[in-house]
Amino acid sequence: MGKSRRTIPEELLLLALDPATGTTAQPQSLDLGLAGAQLVELALAGRIAPDGDRIAVVVPRPTGDPTLDCALELLRRRGAPVRAVNWIGGPRLGLRQTYLSHLERCGMVHAVAGQMCGVLPTTRYQATDTEINREIRTRLDNAIRTGVPPDPRTAALAALAHAVGLGKHLYPGNEGRSSRSRLRDLIRHDPMGGLVAHAVMDVQSGVAAQPRRNPAPVGRPATAGVRSAPEPARGVPMQPRHGSMARAVAH
């Protein structure tokens, strides 16, 4: 997999970064979304495929992306298809920090050291290339406003953005209500993205005991089965750094 193309986890994280504060919106649900975004990226790379509400490895060959390949290897070791909701709800400690550090190495964000309460060291992240962020937002905006079915990558990104509750971050206030609704509706344009987005919402809602029905196929109205994503309260306190490793600030 060539690194000239940004992965969906990277784009989701860039969307979540607040340019004014250098913090990430919806941090708890974002962690789930990043795990789900890895599944979508692996599916687009032809390594995994949906099997009902489960994920099956179809080509175990590495992609060349170390973080994605780690997830692929863990899926392969399971031996049997894994329910998407169980995979996304599993422990993913440090996944957000891994992607923030990767974006920093690639020059797409830079870390800004600070202090909480004037004592505890913290780290904020600022985007260094606003053109990249504008390009990502333009793709979403076009899909929302034109009504033209987006490409699978954009459709999956929109589905995950809705699932983790970024709608009010991207399209705030009453004036953004219709855009948030259309963002939610884009979930129907990519089956894998829809499966993963529903799994993210199920984990947040604590719905993991029973298999859910398959997402509606492309072209079939899906509004009856689409729930609004829960939106955790903002204002989560910053987390201190431990040792030499910077921790992402969560807001």
136, 153 Cβ separation under 8 angstroms: no
Contact residues for 120 (Cβ-Cβ < 8 A; gap 6+): 238, 240, 241
26, 164 Cβ separation under 8 angstroms: yes
Tell me which residue has tokens 């709608």.
167
* Closest C-alpha to 35, from 79, 95, 101, 99: 95
For position 115, what pLDDT does the model report? Answer: 63
Q: pTM score > 0.85 for this model?
A: no
For position 208, what pLDDT does the model report? Answer: 53
For position 156, what pLDDT does the model report? Answer: 94
Query: Which DSSP helix (H) or strand (E) runs through 42?
Result: helix 27-44
Chunked into runs of 10 residues, the chain (251 residues) has average pLDDT values of 72 89 83 95 96 95 95 94 94 86 89 73 80 91 88 94 93 93 89 93 76 47 44 37 37 41
Q: What are phi and psi of 102, to 5 degrees?
A: -65, -45
Tell me which residue has tokens 């053109």.
131
36, 196 Cβ separation under 8 angstroms: yes
CA–CA separation, 34 vs 36, rounded Å?
5
For position 126, what pLDDT does the model report? Answer: 81
